[in-house]
Amino acid sequence: MHTKKKVANYKILFSGPVGAGKTSAIRSLCGDKLLTTEEEASDMTRHRKKTTTVALDYGTLRISDSEVVHLYGTPGQERFDFMWEILRENGLGLILMISNGRPSPLADLRFFLDAFKEFIAKTALVVGVTHLDEKPAPDIAAYRNELKAAGHGAIPVLEVDARAKQDISILVQALLYQVDPNIPA
């Protein structure tokens, strides 16, 4: 008989505005194992997408024999309070997805930095900018300046396509590396 290896569980939160690629990112990493709940969009967002995520996305990713990362996508709306509870234990950090396709992406960045400021003070943060293929401005340097101005000059900000597994893997690795350079990814 072989003994069952003890598995360490970590949690990562994906947040950001509607359409930024949170669901796509978790799907890229977890494939069919993604659990998601989509509902009819509110009036506010109906013009952008037919449906928008109002409930949690969830998926798991095995990063080694003994380590599993649980990925959670927040709703696009402004109800983040319950996420704290989820991340209280073994929360590794926050991946902020910002869509360059929205009208004021740098304002979106500021909004989410503020919404999560207590969380960010305690844990790791990386920023992934999506839809740069559709709209090149503002560029990554502008995001970097914005982060610097907000006191987050050391935070990694990467251009990603949420549909590309490789891109999202790099984002996750950047987060894991901040937490512990020895965690395999």
Ligand X SMILES: Nc1nc2c(ncn2[C@@H]2O[C@H](COP(=O)(O)OP(=O)(O)O)[C@@H](O)[C@H]2O)c(=O)[nH]1
Per the CB < 8 A criterion, the answer to whether 93 and 13 are in contact is yes
Query: Do residues 113 and 150 touch, judged by C-beta distance below 8 A?
Result: yes
Site for ligand X in 132-171 (CB under 6 A): 133-134, 161-163
What binding mask, one character per residue, do residues 27-66 give for ligand X by CB under 6 A, x or -? Answer: -------------------------xx-------------
Phi, psi dihedrals of residue 163, rounded to the nearest 5°: -85, -10
53 binds Mg ion (CB under 5 A): yes
Q: How far is the CB of 75 from ligand X (least distance, A)?
A: 9
How far apart CA 136 and CA 130 sit, in angstroms, is: 10
Q: Which of 110, 133, 135, 119 lies closest to 86 in space, CA to CA?
A: 119
Q: How far is the CB of 57 from Mg ion (least distance, A)?
A: 6
Query: What, of Mg ion, ligand X, none, does residue 114 touch, CB below 5 to 8 Å by kind?
Result: none
Measured from the CB of residue 22, what is the shortest distance to ligand X in angstroms? 4
Query: Would you count residue 24 as binding ligand X (CB under 6 A)?
Result: yes
CB of residue 85 to ligand X, shortest distance in Å: 21
22 binds ligand X (CB under 6 A): yes
**Residues 10-49 close enough to bind Mg ion by CB under 5 A:** 22-23
Give the DSSP letter string of 34-97.
-B--EEEPPHHHHTT-SEEE-S-EEEEEEEETTEEEEEEE--SSS--HHHHHHHTTTEEEEEEE
Tokens of 180: 């512990």
On the 0-12 / 13-18 / 19+ scale of CB atoms within 10 A, 17 is buried
Smaller CB distance to ligand X: residue 13 or 162?
162
Q: Identify what 133 binds: Mg ion, ligand X, none; CB under 5 to 8 Å per kind.
A: ligand X
Which residues bind to ligand X, rule: CB under 6 A?
Answer: 16, 18-24, 52-53, 76, 97, 130-131, 133-134, 161-163
